[in-house]
Amino acid sequence: MKNILAILTILTVSLNGAAVNFDVKNEPKAIRVAPSAPKFTDAERQTELAKRRAKVTEAMSSDSMMILFSAEPKNYAGDVDFMYRQENNLYYLTNLKQRNATLV
């Protein structure tokens, strides 16, 4: 009786292990791998930035002027310096991350 029970237990465990599907396609649909960031050469980046600035210039009237200032560094409670984050519009047109920059 003990031998039969032991054999049934071994068969059950071995067959249960064989039924596990390790197929990669069964990943949860809520978790997705993000695509890698595009890689640009410096010349391509400068060309893209020039196109962006030209598009903004075309949208402006001939007697107008646009001045963009860099963002102020964030310092909360006087003791924590946060990583600098450039103002969105200035960064979009220039790709500059430096403080105290101005685009006219």
DSSP 22-69: --GGGS-TT--PPPPPP---HHHHHHHHHHHHHHHHHHS-TT----EE
Tokens representing residue 56 in the block: 């903004």
Confidence of residue 38 (pLDDT cuts 50, 70, 90): confident
Global pTM reads 0.56
Q: Which of 4-13, 16-25, 51-60, 94-103 has the lowest mean pLDDT?
A: 16-25
Confidence of residue 61 (pLDDT cuts 50, 70, 90): very high
Which of 59, 68, 66, 72 minimizes the C-alpha distance to 90?
Answer: 68
pLDDT at residue 16 tops 80: no
| Percentage of the residues of the chain whose pLDDT score is greater than 70 | 84
- Domain ranges in the chain? 62-104
84: CB partners within 8 A, 6+ apart: 71, 73, 74, 97, 99
Strand, helix or coil for residue 81: strand
